[in-house]
Amino acid sequence: MCLQTMAQVNYKSREEIPEKYKWNFSDIYENWDAWEADFKAISVDMEEILSCKGTLGESSDNLLKLMTAQENLMKKAYKVYQFVSFQSTVDTRNMDLQAKLQKVGLLFAGFGPVTAWISPEMIAIPEAVMKQWLAENKGLKVYEFELLDMYRLQKHVLSEELGKLVSYYSQVSETAGSVFEALSTADIEFQEVELSDGSKVTVTPGMYSQITTNNRNQADRRKAYEAIYDVYYKNKNTYAAVYNGIIQSEWANARARNYESCLDASLEGNNIPKDVYLNLIKTVKENTAPVQKYYKLRKKVLGLEKYYGFDGSISLVDFDKKYPYDEAVKVVTESVLPLGKEYQEKLKTATASGWLDVYENPGKRSGAFSSGVYGVHPYMLLNYDETLEYVFTLAHELGHTMHTTLSNETQPFTTSNYTIFVAEVASTFNERLLLDHMMETTKDPKERIALLTQSIEGIIGTFFAQTMFADYEYQVHTMVEQGQPVNAEILTNTWGEIADQYYGDVSEKTQYSNYPWTRIPHFYNSPYYVYQYATCFASSAKLYKDVTEGSKTEKQEALKRYITLLQSGGNDFPMEQLKKAGVDLSKPEAMLAVINQLDKLVDQLAAEIEKIKN
């Protein structure tokens, strides 16, 4: 692969990137003066909240006054934070933005001590009285789900004194995550390597992805792999200390709120049964044969004497087609037509209105995400590199963006924020739509193989790998909860043991093989998040089947249930929302269906490869 072709969308500075491919921050605030005005107004909202202290049990109007003041504050808080956070995301080296982020963090940290009285005072209102107020006071109706749910969590509500004490440590608790972010973005120094064609490249995460996806020279892939992992490997003890600090903080907070474990604390808020988590790990760990079959097929087809982890992204055939961003947008837009023209038009608006930040630039954080601002619109981060994988990433993140858009259009602020447990349904659903659309439209047999590979990699990466990550998190958290030591060696050995169970002995080991834990942001930024990729994948697979199979009437009803799910935000417990849409994750069938699907796709891929040989 020609390096110049690989690097054609790599910009040396953010200023070089055309405006249509960058975020429009003015949709949140026109300027910093407007931001400052809302920042100051938050203090006024806080005074309004404080004026309610000692009055909540007196009348429903007093309770409504508090709820309204809290909502006004939170609407501003989201905007104030995101305006700075988004700009810092694409310019992590800007110390002025970092200072503003700290300023916002300090403001938010100050909320805890002065609002510690709210939960215990609210919970002191008898549930029967609360239900009567909800029936009589129409203004409270919008807060019904939130208000009644607090009685379920009553035993975990801290007293005012303890709540205030714990809140004092909120800023300290977030420090470890900030250290990870700084160590992995602003302070990181990526290494330069010379490839087999004589070109020299700095192996950033984006460049690493390009090389391992497109460069057919195994020695070049090894160089890129060693260069990127060596950066993390050299800081392994720091990463271990950071990760231990994060889990220790979680465990302290869990115990303070009377939870038996960090997992219980993570699940109970959304009323997720613990068995859903543990059964997922058990079911997947017992059914990894299709994954190992796939990697054995890869090794055979690639003709490699030794197969390594860095060989996992290279295409099985000589297929390194580039997908220019504007072309990718067109293809993804066409693929979502089965969800209706209204959905498709909303997606067109998202891709043409400054909602997406498309290309990598120096100082921009890696990866991709979509994050909403209520009353404005979602903001979607990409580091688009023209690979087929990133076309699917585009579809994935647009699924999040559309989920947020539909939720925010339909739900009031208080129930607009959908839970993580359903967050990956829309994204993986869109990936499946894209796969089918491209399989139907391509006439290139090699592209068919690439697409099947993409689908298989999607299942492994979203379902199997994320379950493995969840297994790892559970084991390490359990160590901390049992008072066992946690250091780089223990974390590395734990990773290795789990990886062997999932992937067998197909891949050769290197000195870096068991160090991926150092660079997975979810471990540091959002613990106990990743299992939901797997449960969401299983859910979206079931919903996709319902929407695309059966009679016309059945498909229409299934589509209606699915769109309703996307519009429902956080207006019910996520397990209940999924059941209304047609998915019951308390049963193993959904998990096993995905495992069986992977097995069939691997067999289909093997058959397609044989056709090319013949």
Averaged pLDDT, 240-246: 93
| Token pair of 286 as six digits | 């017992």
Confidence of residue 313 (pLDDT cuts 50, 70, 90): confident
Quote the distance between the C-alpha of residue 27 and its chain's center: 24
Tokens encoding 331 = 């293809």
Q: Is there a single domain that holds both residue 311 and residue 457?
A: yes
Average pLDDT over residues 397-408: 98
Q: Is residue 64 a part of any domain in this protein?
A: yes
Claim to verify: residue 314 and residue 459 sit in the same structural domain: yes
Q: 179 and 308: one domain? A: yes
Domain end, chosen from 123, 157, 191, is at: 157
CA angle, 388 as apex, 382 and 390 as ends, to 5°?
10
Within-domain flag for 211? yes
Same domain? 310 vs 185: yes
Please check whether residue 311 lies inside any domain of the structure: yes
Q: Which long-range contacts (CB under 8 A, 24 or more apart) does 211-217 make?
A: 211/6, 212/310, 212/312, 212/313, 212/314, 213/313, 213/314, 213/315, 213/387, 213/389, 214/1, 214/6, 214/314, 214/320, 214/387, 215/1, 215/6, 215/314, 216/1, 216/314, 216/318, 216/320
Q: Is the pLDDT of residue 614 over 90?
A: no
Q: Which of 171-180, 182-191, 311-320, 563-572 has the lowest mean pLDDT?
A: 171-180
Residues 310 and 326 in one domain: no
Structure tokens of 448?
Answer: 């068919």
pLDDT at 168: 66
- Please check whether residues 199 and 332 belong to one and the same domain: no
208 and 224 Cβ atoms separated by less than 8 Å: yes
User: Is pLDDT at 296 greater than 50 in this prediction?
Assistant: yes
**140 and 28 within one domain:** yes
Q: pTM higher than 0.75 for the full model?
A: yes
The pair of three-digit structure tokens given for residue 145, joined into one six-digit string: 């789900």
Per-residue pLDDT averaged across 288-293, rounded?
A: 96
| 334 and 466 both lie in a single domain | no
Catalytic residue among 397, 424, 447, 473: 397
Distance CA(467)–CA(464), nearest Å, equals 5
pLDDT digits (tens, 9 = 90+) for 468-483: 999 999 999 999 999 9
* pLDDT over threshold 60, residue 279: yes
34 and 174 together in one domain: no
Nearest to 437 by CA among 555, 324, 335, 557: 335
Please tell me the least confidently modeled range out of 175-179, 288-292, 490-494: 175-179
Establish whether 424 is a catalytic residue: no
Q: Could you tell me if 336 and 347 are in contact, meaning their C-beta atoms sit under 8 angstroms apart?
A: yes
Confidence of residue 169 (pLDDT cuts 50, 70, 90): low
Q: Is the pLDDT of residue 9 over 80?
A: no
Does residue 460 share a domain with residue 312? yes
Q: How far apart are CA 121 and CA 457, in angstroms?
A: 50
Across 284-304, average pLDDT: 94
Q: Span 311-327, mean pLDDT?
A: 89
How large a percentage of the chain has pLDDT more than 90?
Answer: 75
Same domain, 293 and 272: yes
Write down which residue in 157, 175, 207 finishes a domain: 157
Q: Domain holding 235: CATH number?
A: 1.10.1370.20
**Is 260 within a domain?**
yes
Residues 6+ apart with CB under 8 A from 81: 104, 108
Residue 410 has a pLDDT of 97
Residues 329 and 207 in one domain: no
Residue 584 within a domain: no
| Domain housing 480 | 167-318+449-531
Phi-psi region of 198 (alpha: psi -120 to 50; beta: other; left: phi over 0): left
Q: Is residue 605 part of a domain?
A: no
CATH number at residue 23: 1.20.140.70
* Number of folded domains that form the chain: 3
Residue 341 lies in a domain: yes
Residue ending a domain, choose from 479, 501, 531: 531
**Among 176-190, 484-498, 552-566, which is the least confidently predicted range?**
176-190
Q: Give the tens place of pLDDT for each residue, 67-120.
A: 999 999 999 999 999 999 999 999 999 999 999 999 999 988 888 888 989 988
Structural domain contains residue 25? yes
Residue with tokens 């604390």: 265
Q: Average pLDDT in the 6-23 region?
A: 81
| Average pLDDT across the chain, whole number | 92
Q: How confident is the model at residue 418, as a pLDDT?
A: 95
Instruction: Please compute the mean of the pLDDT values over residues 408-434 and round it to a whole number.
Output: 94
Q: Would you say residue 338 has pLDDT above 90?
A: yes
Write the DSSP symbol of residue 17: S
